[in-house]
Amino acid sequence: MRYISTRGASEALTFEQAMMTGLARDGGLYVPEDLPTLTHAQIADMAGKSYEEVAFEVMRPFIGDTFTDAEFKGLIAKAYAGFGHAARAPLVQLAPNHFLLELFHGPTLAFKDFAMQLIGQMFQASLTRSGDRITIVGATSGDTGSAAIEAFRGLTNVDVFILFPYGRVSEVQRRQMTTPVEANVHALAMDGDFDDCQAMLKDMFNDFAFRDEVRLAGVNSINWGRVLAQVVYYFTAAVSLGAPHREVSFTVPTGNFGDIFAGYIAKKMGLPIADLVVATNQNDILHRTLETGAYTKEGVIPSISPSMDIQVSSNFERALFDAYGRDGAAVAAQMADLKSGGFEISQGAYQMLKDTFKSGRASEEETSAAIKTYLADHGELLCPHSAVGVHVAENHLGTIPMVTLATAHPAKFPDAVKAASGISAPLPPRMADLYDRPERVTRVANDMAALQALIKERIKV
């Protein structure tokens, strides 16, 4: 299996190369050249299997000969061993035809752990084999950073630098990034918002001299390995609700479009998904785009679901690439227009997107109201992101079972949850001392030269 860039001007790579590279040199994102499909019988056979077994079957066709079957099974086993629930991604029923997929039982209490824990294992296996040393730089609205640090802390051939927007992440998120004591972990609080952090990251990747000098690698959801790991839980959830004999729909709290894009891949692989619903908070650029066909940036307004406070959704480019019939030049032209504020999607591409994705938004009031109602009426304490999801899902319920993805644990956003529900969500016992551990963080300006100097200083090149 080969991986090609969404902008059509980089050479095709193997799975291992695409994973270690992150962003393509033409600025695009890697996608598989052809998608493998699973037969009805193969999907039916997943019933009753463990998360790890299904993970192996779903991901195996994508990794080529990067790992042997035995190696890959070992990496999957290690990746999910630290999860606090035997099912890894348990389903909870909310209402007759509405289910919640709890993706917050990993070490940092958000769904990012599903991909990051596996990426950590795969990077380590690959680097041990090659003897290379790499520098991971990631941008985060809160959860990616903590998940990346948790996955890479203490590894010998990796330094991990995480840029997060100063003052715009929750205290639990910040502490998960600033309290690890390992010397290879570098938490950087940058002046600006998440889009500034993400733009800085992209600029660093596009500075090829720097990129080569520090052996830069990326673990943001631009990394194909991240998307791939997230495809798995669509299969486990749908199969436990009767797929492939029955259709299932999903609603996904969305920011960077990585998680919902994984659902789209699952559907293209043969999983009978009826609706894929994009749920946004008040930063509703994706909802507006699907309503109007115009992708127009506005400012980010901080919300109580900060991991979705975003205007430039990286992975949307992967969907656009398919919508444009895999015409990399067309995608590159649209992305150039995005730099100056936005673009208009062509009629054919827009139609494809509208046929594939539904959407909705939740205001701040609606998000808080959902937290309150779901606790009172369904006994379920939701994090604000998951609450955005259930609010939007309510408008799409019908005869087909709906699964809303619960993307984080309520304890990760205690202030918003308390304000909405009156209840404090306690941290799980294994991280109960988070508030007592000393923090280590460097405040940095939105200045690429200064940041590059700091990174080189820290890794001594």
- Which residues are designated catalytic? 112
Pairing label, strands 98-102, 91-95: antiparallel
Q: How far is CA 128 from the centre of its chain?
A: 26
Which of 13, 29, 110, 349: binder of ligand PLP (CB under 6 A)?
110
The answer to whether 187 touches 177, Cβ cutoff 8 Å, is yes
Residue placing its CB nearer to ligand PLP in the complex, 56 or 104: 104
Site stretch for ligand PLP (CB under 6 A), options 57-65, 248-256, 345-353, 369-377? 248-256
Virtual torsion, Cα 305, 311, 314, 317, nearest 10 deg: 130
410 is a site residue for ligand PLP (CB under 6 A) = no
Question: Which one of residues 179, 407, 421, 452 is an interface residue with ligand PLP (CB under 6 A)?
Answer: 407
CB of 291 to ligand PLP, least distance (A): 18
- Residues in contact with ligand PLP, total (CB under 6 A)? 16
Residue 84's SS3 state is: coil
Q: Using the rule CB under 6 A, is 21 a contact of ligand PLP?
A: no
Q: Copy the structure tokens of residue 309.
A: 């406070």
Question: Which of 253, 270, 360, 401 contacts ligand PLP by CB under 6 A?
Answer: 253
For residues 389 and 84, what is the distance between their CA atoms, to the nearest angstrom?
23
Question: Which of residues 46 and 143 has its CB atom nearest to ligand PLP in the complex?
Answer: 143
User: 451 and 139 in contact (C-beta within 8 Å)?
Assistant: no
Token pair in block for residue 174 = 């910040």
Stretch that binds ligand PLP, among 235-243, 251-259, 391-399, 428-436 (CB under 6 A): 251-259
Q: Minimum CB separation from ligand PLP for residue 244, in Å? A: 25
307 binds ligand PLP (CB under 6 A): yes
Cβ proximity to ligand PLP, 289 vs 307, nearer residue: 307
Q: φ, ψ for residue 29 (rounded to 5)?
A: -110, 145
* Only segment of 209-217, 247-255, 321-329, 366-374 that touches ligand PLP (CB under 6 A): 247-255
CB neighbourhood size of 69 (10 A): 10
Q: Report residue 424 as tokens.
A: 């404090």
Q: Which of 150, 195, 259, 394 binds ligand PLP (CB under 6 A)?
A: 259
Quote the tokens at residue 313. Answer: 């959704």
Please report, in angstroms and rounded to a whole number, the separation of the first and last CA atoms in the chain: 35
Residues 279 and 360 sit within 8 Å (Cβ to Cβ): yes
> Of 336-375, which residues contact ligand PLP (CB under 6 A)?
none
| Separation of CA 61 from chain center | 21
φ, ψ of residue 116 in degrees (nearest 5): -70, -40
Q: Which of 75, 64, 69 is nearest to 32 (CA)?
A: 64
CB 117, min distance to ligand PLP, A: 14
Q: Does 255 bind ligand PLP (CB under 6 A)?
A: yes
CA 112/CA 176 separation, integer angstroms: 13
Q: Which of residues 142-181 bind ligand PLP (CB under 6 A)?
A: 143
- 408 belongs to the binding site for ligand PLP (CB under 6 A): yes
* Contacting residue, 279, 308, 331, 353, with ligand PLP by CB under 6 A: 308
Contact in structure between 15 and 66 (CB atoms under 8 Å): yes
Min dist CB 279 to ligand PLP, Å, is 9
The residue within the footprint of ligand PLP, chosen from 176, 256, 303, 404 (CB under 6 A), is 256
> How far is it, in rounded angstroms, from Cα 65 to Cα 126?
12
Rounded least distance, CB 178 to ligand PLP, Å: 17
Q: Which of 221, 249, 367, 404 binds ligand PLP (CB under 6 A)?
A: 221
Q: Which amino acid is at 93?
A: Q
With CB under 6 A as the contact rule, the residue among 7, 98, 112, 361 that binds ligand PLP is: 112
Give the interface with ligand PLP as residue ranges (CB under 6 A).
110, 112, 143, 221, 253-259, 307-308, 385, 407-408
